[in-house]
Amino acid sequence: AGLRLLVGAVWLLAVLRQGAAAEAGAVTVDGRRAIASTGEDFVCATLDWWPPDKCDYGTCSWGNASLLNLDLSNKILLNAIKAAFSPLVLRLGGSLQDKVVYGTADRPGPCAPFNRSKSEMFGFTQGCLPMPRWDDLNAFFEKSGAKIVFGLNALNGRVPLQGGAMGGNWDTTNAASFIRYTAGKGYKIYGWELGNELSGTGVGTKVGVAQYVKDAIALKTTVDAIYRGSPEKPLVLAPGGFFDARWYGEFIAKTKPDMLNVVTHHIYNLGAGVDRDTQLMDRILNPKALDGMAGPFRDLQGLLKAAGTSAVAWVGESGGAYNSGHHLVTDAFVFSFWFLDQLGMSAKFDTKSYCRQSFIGGNYGLLNTTTFQPNPDYYSALLWHRLMGTKVLEAKFTGSNMVRAYAHCAKHAPGITLLLINLHVNATNHVSVAGRGGAHAGGRKHGGRFAQPPGAAREEYHLTPEGGNIQSQVMLLNGRALAAGADGGIPGMEPVKVDAARPIAVAPRSIVFVHMPDYHAPACA
């Protein structure tokens, strides 16, 4: 333990010397009660349908990352889910899901893949999921322990209306046949979701809310019938679109109290991936811009509470910057500032799961599309998953507005975990921790701060970019580069132990997770 403390102190000293300036701040954690709660599987990621010839702004960033062609034998892919997360929720879907048909017995004719077509919505023809590929995917899901949410095609049977909308009842035939096939094979499905980005003004096209209510109830009826008598009935999720208060308000009111388990919405709050990297980074590093992103989380929480429904909120897809993201921003260290802030912020409004677009594919994958090597956000997601419990605590930071602070009860461990994000370009922030109302750091109270018991230590995980370059795709944990091994193994994530009496030193443009086992919060008891 003494050696770990010494190593931690030496590393921290090196970190502090990087900072040209020093600032002091304080975070006050209210441990009396939880202000919100997440689901046990809060961190979630997506797999998509885009073929290799999906290109944005002249760049084709999807490679073989589609559900139809992903190399399921890759060792990093398996370990990144199984060895690291155990379990990870994977939501299968995306723009092309409403053009996917399922190659089940009810569908005569060939099961043809997507083909490019400029005249078609999203630039591709209809594509088919062959059942042998679905079998292979499920063998992989079972091996990896992933929990699967499948996004169904919600446009089957529709007719075009004026104004770019689609009308008429959803034809459940192919979807019901696919769900029956899946259940009959004994494949475990965590949830079935209806449609992708068809709510409100829609993307590509839209479906009116009254019609969507009917179709969501049709999905619920189908799932109930197929899984009748099953001990593990899948969740029913919808609508998987962009939050629109009027549309969502009516949708929630007409599916309450229990026609739906989960109300999903999508987040692309940084704009288009085409923007210059400096513009995107300016938004990510601007605390006012980040503060302004709370609206959909807060408003959806309000609608669900007011309606008196049993349904909960998920972010079903979030890539930050749409049209596949932006290379060396959404797949680099800098994106963890946005991503972890989103996880912290959404959790405060009772979001139960947050699905990152994508696990692999595009310029915003948690894994590199060609090498499968984890990008920085993968490790950020993994640390959240391992350290942040389901109970959310109020954390108020006083000091620079460039520091963001979030607190949760620790996950399957005593005490609390703090997440501190320092956006400042050259100032180290020395953060002291105070408690409120019965929360205490294991010792005597001294004027609002808390004395730790003698010799108490806390565990710190400092995340920095290689070479100090926030556009680096290599993340350092306590000064050590993180990379998958030659055998596909995910590296260990060990903390440094630090004397609990010292302030937490958060280096410029860095992120720190701090597990404080001696911080006794009544809410976490």
Compute the residue count for the chain. 525
Mean pLDDT of 297-306: 98
**Hey, what are 317's tokens?**
């897809």
Q: Which are the contacts of 380, defined by CB distance < 8 A and separation ≥ 6?
A: 336, 339, 340, 463, 475, 511
Superfamily holding 24-35+395-439+449-524: Golgi alpha-mannosidase II (2.60.40.1180)
> Residue 9's pLDDT is what?
56
Q: Where are the domains of the chain?
A: 24-35+395-439+449-524, 39-390
Checking DSSP bridges between strand 262-267 and strand 449-450, what pairing results, if any?
unpaired
Write down the pTM of the prediction: 0.95
Whether 350 has a pLDDT exceeding 50, the answer reads yes
Whether 57 has a pLDDT exceeding 80, the answer reads yes
Superfamily holding 39-390: Glycosidases (3.20.20.80)
Q: Which residue has the tokens 């104004």?
A: 163
Of 361, 418, 350, 448, the C-alpha closest to 390 is: 350
Whether 1 has a pLDDT exceeding 90, the answer reads no
**Phi, psi for residue 483 in degrees, rounded to 5:** -155, 145
> Residue 443's pLDDT is what?
43
Mean pLDDT of 115-132: 97
355, 44 contact by CB (below 8 A):
yes
**Phi, psi for residue 414 in degrees, rounded to 5:** -70, 160
Quick: pLDDT tens for 435-476. 876 555 544 443 334 456 778 999 999 999 999 999 999 999
Whether 88 has a pLDDT exceeding 70, the answer reads yes
3-state class (DSSP) for residue 171: coil
The upper half-sphere exposure of residue 437, i.e. CA atoms within 13 Å in the direction of its Cβ, equals 11
Is the torsion defined by CA of 167, 173, 176, 177 positive or negative?
A: negative
3-state class (DSSP) for residue 507: coil
Q: Which residues are catalytic?
A: 197, 317
Q: Which are the contacts of 31, defined by CB distance < 8 A and separation ≥ 6?
A: 393, 416, 435, 436, 437, 438, 439, 440, 519, 520, 521, 522, 523, 524
**Hey, what are 13's tokens?**
């000293």
Whether 422 has a pLDDT exceeding 50, the answer reads yes
**Hey, what are 380's tokens?**
């950020």
> Residue 98's pLDDT is what?
98
Instruction: Please provide the average confidence, as pLDDT, over all residues in the chain.
Output: 93
Whether 384 has a pLDDT exceeding 60, the answer reads yes
